Amino acid sequence: MTDFIEGLPKAELHLHIEGTIEPETLFRLAARNAVDLRYDSVESLRAAYDFGNLQDFLDLYYQGMAVLQTEEDFYDVTWAYLEKAHAQNVLHAEIFFDPQGHTSRGVAFETAFEGVWRALEDGRERLGVSSRLIPCFLRDRDADEAKAALEQALHYRDRLIAVGLDSAERGNPPVKFKEVFDRARDAGLLTVAHAGEEGPADYVRQALDVLRVARVDHGNHAADDPALMERLARERVPLTMCPLSNLRLQVVADLRNHPLRRMLDNGLLVTVNSDDPAYFGGYINENYRAVQKALGLSNDELARIARNSFHAAFLPEEEKRALTRRVDEHQAHWVE
Ligand code: ADE
Ligand code: ZN
Protein backbone atom coordinates (compact mmCIF):
# COMPACT_ATOMS: atom_id res chain seq x y z
CA MET A 1 0.00 0.00 0.00
CA THR A 2 2.83 2.35 0.89
CA ASP A 3 4.33 1.90 -2.55
CA PHE A 4 1.03 2.65 -4.27
CA ILE A 5 1.00 6.02 -2.51
CA GLU A 6 4.66 6.71 -3.21
CA GLY A 7 4.31 6.25 -6.96
CA LEU A 8 0.91 7.92 -7.17
CA PRO A 9 1.13 11.13 -9.24
CA LYS A 10 -0.45 13.93 -7.22
CA ALA A 11 -0.89 17.69 -6.81
CA GLU A 12 -0.25 19.58 -3.59
CA LEU A 13 -2.83 22.35 -3.23
CA HIS A 14 -2.48 23.43 0.39
CA LEU A 15 1.09 24.17 1.42
CA HIS A 16 2.39 27.22 3.28
CA ILE A 17 5.99 27.77 2.24
CA GLU A 18 6.75 29.25 5.67
CA GLY A 19 5.52 25.99 7.17
CA THR A 20 8.21 23.96 5.42
CA ILE A 21 11.21 25.27 7.40
CA GLU A 22 12.53 22.17 9.14
CA PRO A 23 14.04 22.83 12.60
CA GLU A 24 17.58 22.14 11.32
CA THR A 25 17.09 24.69 8.52
CA LEU A 26 15.60 27.13 10.98
CA PHE A 27 18.76 27.00 13.10
CA ARG A 28 21.00 27.24 10.03
CA LEU A 29 19.18 30.33 8.72
CA ALA A 30 19.08 31.90 12.19
CA ALA A 31 22.88 31.56 12.39
CA ARG A 32 23.32 32.87 8.83
CA ASN A 33 21.24 35.97 9.63
CA ALA A 34 22.17 36.43 13.29
CA VAL A 35 18.55 35.99 14.36
CA ASP A 36 18.03 35.15 18.01
CA LEU A 37 15.92 32.04 18.57
CA ARG A 38 14.20 31.36 21.88
CA TYR A 39 15.35 27.74 21.74
CA ASP A 40 18.85 26.46 22.34
CA SER A 41 18.68 23.29 20.24
CA VAL A 42 16.81 21.53 17.44
CA GLU A 43 15.52 19.07 20.06
CA SER A 44 14.09 21.74 22.33
CA LEU A 45 12.44 23.44 19.36
CA ARG A 46 10.93 20.17 18.17
CA ALA A 47 9.71 19.48 21.70
CA ALA A 48 7.76 22.75 21.54
CA TYR A 49 5.77 21.44 18.56
CA ASP A 50 3.06 20.19 20.87
CA PHE A 51 0.01 22.23 19.99
CA GLY A 52 -3.32 22.50 21.79
CA ASN A 53 -4.94 24.46 18.96
CA LEU A 54 -4.33 26.56 15.85
CA GLN A 55 -3.17 29.62 17.82
CA ASP A 56 -0.47 27.64 19.67
CA PHE A 57 0.94 26.66 16.29
CA LEU A 58 0.63 30.13 14.77
CA ASP A 59 2.65 31.62 17.64
CA LEU A 60 5.61 29.40 16.73
CA TYR A 61 5.03 29.65 13.00
CA TYR A 62 5.32 33.47 13.02
CA GLN A 63 8.41 33.29 15.25
CA GLY A 64 9.95 30.71 12.94
CA MET A 65 9.50 32.71 9.75
CA ALA A 66 11.63 35.51 11.24
CA VAL A 67 14.72 33.59 10.04
CA LEU A 68 13.71 34.42 6.45
CA GLN A 69 15.54 37.66 5.71
CA THR A 70 17.01 37.60 2.23
CA GLU A 71 15.87 36.49 -1.21
CA GLU A 72 18.33 33.61 -0.88
CA ASP A 73 16.60 32.39 2.29
CA PHE A 74 13.23 32.29 0.51
CA TYR A 75 14.88 30.56 -2.43
CA ASP A 76 16.55 27.90 -0.27
CA VAL A 77 13.42 27.04 1.69
CA THR A 78 11.29 26.83 -1.46
CA TRP A 79 13.88 24.76 -3.30
CA ALA A 80 14.15 22.32 -0.38
CA TYR A 81 10.38 21.89 -0.42
CA LEU A 82 10.30 21.30 -4.19
CA GLU A 83 12.97 18.61 -3.99
CA LYS A 84 10.97 16.87 -1.29
CA ALA A 85 7.72 17.21 -3.25
CA HIS A 86 9.38 15.88 -6.40
CA ALA A 87 10.68 12.86 -4.47
CA GLN A 88 7.11 12.18 -3.37
CA ASN A 89 5.74 12.32 -6.92
CA VAL A 90 4.10 15.72 -6.63
CA LEU A 91 3.78 16.84 -10.27
CA HIS A 92 2.13 20.16 -9.49
CA ALA A 93 2.24 22.39 -6.39
CA GLU A 94 0.17 25.47 -5.53
CA ILE A 95 2.03 27.31 -2.85
CA PHE A 96 0.79 29.80 -0.25
CA PHE A 97 2.92 32.53 1.21
CA ASP A 98 2.10 35.16 3.86
CA PRO A 99 3.37 38.57 2.64
CA GLN A 100 2.20 40.37 5.80
CA GLY A 101 4.22 37.94 7.93
CA HIS A 102 7.29 39.40 6.19
CA THR A 103 6.47 43.04 5.47
CA SER A 104 5.35 43.54 9.09
CA ARG A 105 8.92 42.77 10.23
CA GLY A 106 10.65 44.86 7.60
CA VAL A 107 11.25 42.32 4.84
CA ALA A 108 10.06 43.65 1.48
CA PHE A 109 7.29 41.92 -0.46
CA GLU A 110 9.66 41.78 -3.39
CA THR A 111 12.34 39.91 -1.39
CA ALA A 112 9.92 37.15 -0.42
CA PHE A 113 8.25 37.01 -3.81
CA GLU A 114 11.39 36.93 -5.96
CA GLY A 115 13.12 34.31 -3.80
CA VAL A 116 10.16 31.96 -3.90
CA TRP A 117 9.54 32.64 -7.58
CA ARG A 118 13.08 31.89 -8.68
CA ALA A 119 12.97 28.53 -6.91
CA LEU A 120 9.61 27.75 -8.57
CA GLU A 121 11.13 28.51 -11.97
CA ASP A 122 14.07 26.22 -11.24
CA GLY A 123 11.61 23.59 -10.02
CA ARG A 124 9.80 23.71 -13.34
CA GLU A 125 13.01 23.49 -15.36
CA ARG A 126 15.10 21.10 -13.31
CA LEU A 127 12.51 18.91 -11.61
CA GLY A 128 9.55 19.19 -13.98
CA VAL A 129 7.29 20.27 -11.10
CA SER A 130 4.75 22.82 -12.28
CA SER A 131 3.55 25.37 -9.77
CA ARG A 132 1.40 28.35 -8.91
CA LEU A 133 1.81 31.00 -6.23
CA ILE A 134 -0.97 32.27 -3.92
CA PRO A 135 -0.42 35.13 -1.43
CA CYS A 136 -2.67 34.88 1.63
CA PHE A 137 -4.06 37.65 3.79
CA LEU A 138 -3.77 37.30 7.55
CA ARG A 139 -7.37 37.31 8.78
CA ASP A 140 -6.48 38.24 12.37
CA ARG A 141 -5.20 41.62 11.13
CA ASP A 142 -7.49 44.31 9.85
CA ALA A 143 -8.95 44.46 6.38
CA ASP A 144 -7.11 47.68 5.50
CA GLU A 145 -3.79 45.92 5.96
CA ALA A 146 -4.99 43.16 3.64
CA LYS A 147 -5.96 45.80 1.08
CA ALA A 148 -2.44 47.25 1.21
CA ALA A 149 -0.99 43.75 0.80
CA LEU A 150 -3.21 43.18 -2.23
CA GLU A 151 -2.03 46.41 -3.85
CA GLN A 152 1.57 45.22 -3.44
CA ALA A 153 0.68 41.81 -4.81
CA LEU A 154 -0.97 43.33 -7.87
CA HIS A 155 2.46 44.60 -9.00
CA TYR A 156 3.12 40.88 -9.60
CA ARG A 157 -0.33 40.15 -11.01
CA ASP A 158 1.00 38.17 -13.99
CA ARG A 159 2.82 35.73 -11.75
CA LEU A 160 -0.06 35.10 -9.36
CA ILE A 161 -3.08 32.85 -9.86
CA ALA A 162 -5.20 33.55 -6.78
CA VAL A 163 -5.32 35.09 -3.32
CA GLY A 164 -6.06 33.25 -0.09
CA LEU A 165 -7.01 33.83 3.54
CA ASP A 166 -5.31 32.21 6.52
CA SER A 167 -4.18 32.62 10.16
CA ALA A 168 -6.45 32.62 13.26
CA GLU A 169 -9.95 31.76 12.09
CA ARG A 170 -12.20 32.10 15.13
CA GLY A 171 -13.69 35.59 15.38
CA ASN A 172 -12.37 36.51 11.91
CA PRO A 173 -15.15 35.54 9.50
CA PRO A 174 -14.67 35.64 5.73
CA VAL A 175 -17.11 38.56 5.42
CA LYS A 176 -14.47 40.81 7.05
CA PHE A 177 -12.53 40.56 3.76
CA LYS A 178 -15.38 41.00 1.27
CA GLU A 179 -14.03 44.21 -0.27
CA VAL A 180 -10.46 43.05 -0.65
CA PHE A 181 -11.60 39.79 -2.26
CA ASP A 182 -13.94 41.73 -4.60
CA ARG A 183 -10.97 43.82 -5.67
CA ALA A 184 -8.79 40.72 -6.20
CA ARG A 185 -11.47 39.11 -8.38
CA ASP A 186 -11.91 42.36 -10.34
CA ALA A 187 -8.17 42.15 -11.06
CA GLY A 188 -8.75 38.70 -12.52
CA LEU A 189 -7.44 36.60 -9.64
CA LEU A 190 -9.14 33.48 -8.36
CA THR A 191 -9.86 33.21 -4.64
CA VAL A 192 -9.48 30.55 -1.97
CA ALA A 193 -9.87 30.73 1.82
CA HIS A 194 -9.21 28.68 4.91
CA ALA A 195 -12.65 27.99 6.34
CA GLY A 196 -14.13 25.48 8.73
CA GLU A 197 -10.77 24.48 10.21
CA GLU A 198 -11.60 25.76 13.71
CA GLY A 199 -14.44 28.00 12.55
CA PRO A 200 -18.06 26.90 12.01
CA ALA A 201 -19.80 25.64 8.87
CA ASP A 202 -21.18 29.14 8.39
CA TYR A 203 -17.66 30.40 7.63
CA VAL A 204 -17.52 27.88 4.77
CA ARG A 205 -20.82 29.28 3.45
CA GLN A 206 -19.43 32.82 3.70
CA ALA A 207 -16.29 31.79 1.87
CA LEU A 208 -18.49 30.50 -0.97
CA ASP A 209 -21.14 33.22 -1.03
CA VAL A 210 -19.18 36.33 -0.03
CA LEU A 211 -15.60 35.62 -1.09
CA ARG A 212 -16.70 33.43 -4.04
CA VAL A 213 -13.87 30.99 -3.52
CA ALA A 214 -12.94 28.42 -6.15
CA ARG A 215 -11.76 26.04 -3.40
CA VAL A 216 -12.15 25.77 0.36
CA ASP A 217 -8.99 25.16 2.39
CA HIS A 218 -9.68 22.57 5.11
CA GLY A 219 -13.51 22.77 5.28
CA ASN A 220 -13.74 20.19 8.08
CA HIS A 221 -16.70 21.78 9.83
CA ALA A 222 -18.81 21.65 6.69
CA ALA A 223 -19.41 18.09 7.86
CA ASP A 224 -21.60 19.51 10.69
CA ASP A 225 -24.12 20.84 8.16
CA PRO A 226 -25.88 18.28 5.92
CA ALA A 227 -27.31 20.92 3.55
CA LEU A 228 -23.84 22.41 3.06
CA MET A 229 -22.38 18.95 2.45
CA GLU A 230 -24.97 18.42 -0.28
CA ARG A 231 -24.17 21.77 -1.82
CA LEU A 232 -20.42 21.13 -1.84
CA ALA A 233 -21.03 17.81 -3.58
CA ARG A 234 -23.51 19.27 -6.09
CA GLU A 235 -21.34 22.26 -6.97
CA ARG A 236 -18.18 20.15 -7.05
CA VAL A 237 -16.34 22.56 -4.74
CA PRO A 238 -12.87 21.20 -3.98
CA LEU A 239 -11.73 20.95 -0.35
CA THR A 240 -8.00 20.94 0.37
CA MET A 241 -7.86 18.80 3.50
CA CYS A 242 -4.77 18.36 5.69
CA PRO A 243 -5.13 15.33 7.96
CA LEU A 244 -1.87 15.47 9.95
CA SER A 245 -2.35 19.20 10.51
CA ASN A 246 -5.86 18.52 11.83
CA LEU A 247 -4.51 15.87 14.18
CA ARG A 248 -1.64 18.00 15.49
CA LEU A 249 -3.84 21.08 15.96
CA GLN A 250 -6.55 19.03 17.68
CA VAL A 251 -9.11 19.81 14.99
CA VAL A 252 -9.79 16.06 15.12
CA ALA A 253 -9.03 13.90 18.16
CA ASP A 254 -8.42 10.77 16.10
CA LEU A 255 -7.87 10.37 12.36
CA ARG A 256 -10.36 7.51 12.38
CA ASN A 257 -13.03 10.19 12.81
CA HIS A 258 -11.67 12.48 10.11
CA PRO A 259 -14.53 13.90 7.97
CA LEU A 260 -12.67 13.00 4.77
CA ARG A 261 -14.25 9.52 4.83
CA ARG A 262 -17.81 10.85 4.99
CA MET A 263 -17.07 13.52 2.42
CA LEU A 264 -15.56 11.03 0.00
CA ASP A 265 -18.55 8.70 0.47
CA ASN A 266 -20.91 11.61 -0.20
CA GLY A 267 -19.20 12.54 -3.46
CA LEU A 268 -17.37 15.69 -2.32
CA LEU A 269 -14.24 16.66 -4.21
CA VAL A 270 -11.74 16.13 -1.40
CA THR A 271 -7.96 16.33 -1.71
CA VAL A 272 -5.12 15.47 0.69
CA ASN A 273 -2.35 17.98 1.40
CA SER A 274 0.33 18.81 3.94
CA ASP A 275 -0.33 22.40 5.17
CA ASP A 276 2.84 23.01 7.26
CA PRO A 277 4.79 19.77 6.97
CA ALA A 278 7.81 20.83 9.05
CA TYR A 279 5.51 21.40 12.03
CA PHE A 280 3.03 18.56 11.64
CA GLY A 281 5.20 15.50 11.13
CA GLY A 282 4.85 14.76 7.46
CA TYR A 283 4.76 15.79 3.84
CA ILE A 284 2.07 14.79 1.36
CA ASN A 285 2.78 11.05 1.24
CA GLU A 286 2.77 10.81 5.03
CA ASN A 287 -0.64 12.51 4.92
CA TYR A 288 -1.96 10.06 2.32
CA ARG A 289 -0.61 7.14 4.36
CA ALA A 290 -2.08 8.38 7.62
CA VAL A 291 -5.61 8.70 6.21
CA GLN A 292 -5.27 5.47 4.24
CA LYS A 293 -4.53 3.63 7.45
CA ALA A 294 -7.04 5.40 9.69
CA LEU A 295 -9.92 5.36 7.22
CA GLY A 296 -9.10 2.13 5.39
CA LEU A 297 -8.90 3.80 1.97
CA SER A 298 -8.59 1.43 -0.99
CA ASN A 299 -6.20 2.02 -3.88
CA ASP A 300 -9.20 3.09 -5.97
CA GLU A 301 -10.09 5.70 -3.36
CA LEU A 302 -6.50 6.94 -3.13
CA ALA A 303 -6.40 7.26 -6.91
CA ARG A 304 -9.71 9.15 -6.80
CA ILE A 305 -8.21 11.62 -4.32
CA ALA A 306 -5.16 12.10 -6.56
CA ARG A 307 -7.42 12.64 -9.60
CA ASN A 308 -9.38 15.16 -7.54
CA SER A 309 -6.14 17.01 -6.81
CA PHE A 310 -5.48 17.58 -10.51
CA HIS A 311 -9.12 18.37 -11.18
CA ALA A 312 -9.04 21.02 -8.42
CA ALA A 313 -5.75 22.54 -9.59
CA PHE A 314 -5.63 25.99 -11.20
CA LEU A 315 -4.39 24.61 -14.51
CA PRO A 316 -5.74 24.61 -18.08
CA GLU A 317 -8.19 21.74 -18.72
CA GLU A 318 -5.84 20.06 -21.15
CA GLU A 319 -3.03 19.89 -18.60
CA LYS A 320 -5.43 18.57 -15.98
CA ARG A 321 -6.50 15.79 -18.32
CA ALA A 322 -2.90 14.84 -19.09
CA LEU A 323 -2.01 14.72 -15.39
CA THR A 324 -5.14 12.76 -14.52
CA ARG A 325 -4.19 10.19 -17.16
CA ARG A 326 -0.92 9.66 -15.29
CA VAL A 327 -3.00 8.60 -12.27
CA ASP A 328 -5.01 6.20 -14.48
CA GLU A 329 -1.75 4.70 -15.79
CA HIS A 330 -0.32 4.28 -12.31
CA GLN A 331 -3.49 2.49 -11.25
CA ALA A 332 -3.63 0.30 -14.38
CA HIS A 333 -0.03 -0.84 -14.05
CA TRP A 334 -0.07 -1.41 -10.32
CA VAL A 335 0.47 -4.98 -9.14
CA GLU A 336 0.16 -5.79 -5.43
N1 ADE B 1 -1.16 29.45 8.38
C2 ADE B 1 -0.34 28.41 8.18
N3 ADE B 1 -0.99 27.27 8.40
C4 ADE B 1 -2.27 27.57 8.73
C5 ADE B 1 -3.42 26.83 9.05
N6 ADE B 1 -3.43 25.50 9.11
N7 ADE B 1 -4.55 27.50 9.35
C8 ADE B 1 -4.56 28.82 9.32
N9 ADE B 1 -3.51 29.57 9.02
C10 ADE B 1 -2.36 28.95 8.72
ZN1 ZN C 1 -3.26 26.07 5.81
Read out DSSP for 193-247? EEESSSS-HHHHHHHHHTS--SEEEE-GGGGG-HHHHHHHHHTT-EEEE-HHHHH
For 2-335, CATH gives 3.20.20.140
139, amino acid identity: R
190/160 Cα distance (integer angstroms): 9
Point out the ligand 1 atom lying closest to the alpha carbon of residue 245.
6
Among the bound ligands, name the one nearest to the CA of residue 198.
Answer: 1
61/280 Cα distance (integer angstroms): 11
Residue 252 has pLDDT above 60, yes or no: yes
**Known catalytic residues?**
197
The closest of 213, 99, 217, 105 to 156, measured between CA atoms, is 99
pTM of the prediction?
0.98
Q: Which of 57, 192, 239, 274 to mutate to test the pocket of ligand 1 (most atoms within 8 A of CB)?
A: 57
Residues near ligand 1 (Cβ within 6 A):
16, 19, 54, 61, 166-167, 194, 197, 245, 275-276
The alpha-carbon radius of gyration of the chain (Å, integer) is 19
Q: Separation of 276 CA from ligand 1 center, angstroms? A: 8
pLDDT for residue 3 = 87
Point out the ligand 1 atom lying closest to the alpha carbon of residue 16.
2
Among the bound ligands, name the one nearest to the CA of residue 251.
Answer: 1
Residue positions forming the annotated binding site for substrate: 276
Q: What is the pLDDT of residues 187-216, one digit of tens each?
A: 999 999 999 999 999 999 999 999 999 999
pLDDT for residue 282 = 98
In degrees, to the nearest 5, what angle opens at C-alpha 165 toward C-alphas 150 and 172?
A: 110
Residue 141 has pLDDT above 90, yes or no: yes
Q: Which of 12, 16, 21 to mutate to test the pocket of ligand 1 (most atoms within 8 A of CB)?
A: 16
91/193 Cα distance (integer angstroms): 23
Q: Separation of 136 CA from ligand 1 center, angstroms? A: 10
Give the mean pLDDT of the chain. 98
Q: What is the pLDDT of residues 60-73, one digit of tens each?
A: 999 999 999 999 99
Neighbour count for residue 126 (Cβ, 10 Å): 12
pLDDT for residue 336 = 77
Q: Separation of 182 CA from ligand 1 center, angstroms? A: 22
Residue 1 has pLDDT above 70, yes or no: no
How many residues comprise the chain? Answer: 336
Q: For residue 2, what pLDDT band results from cuts at 50, 70 and 90?
A: low
Among the bound ligands, name the one nearest to the CA of residue 169.
Answer: 1
Residue 139 has pLDDT above 60, yes or no: yes
Q: What are phi and psi of 212, to 5 degrees?
A: 50, 50
Q: Separation of 139 CA from ligand 2 center, angstroms? A: 12
H/E stretch holding 162 reads strand 162-166
Q: Separation of 6 CA from ligand 1 center, angstroms? A: 26
Point out the ligand 1 atom lying closest to the alpha carbon of residue 249.
6
Q: What mean pLDDT do residues 257-278 have?
A: 98
pLDDT for residue 335 = 85
Residue 304 has pLDDT above 60, yes or no: yes
Residue positions forming the annotated binding site for Zn(2+): 14, 16, 194, 275
Percent of the chain with pLDDT over 70: 99
- The answer to whether 286 and 28 are in contact (CB under 8 A) is no
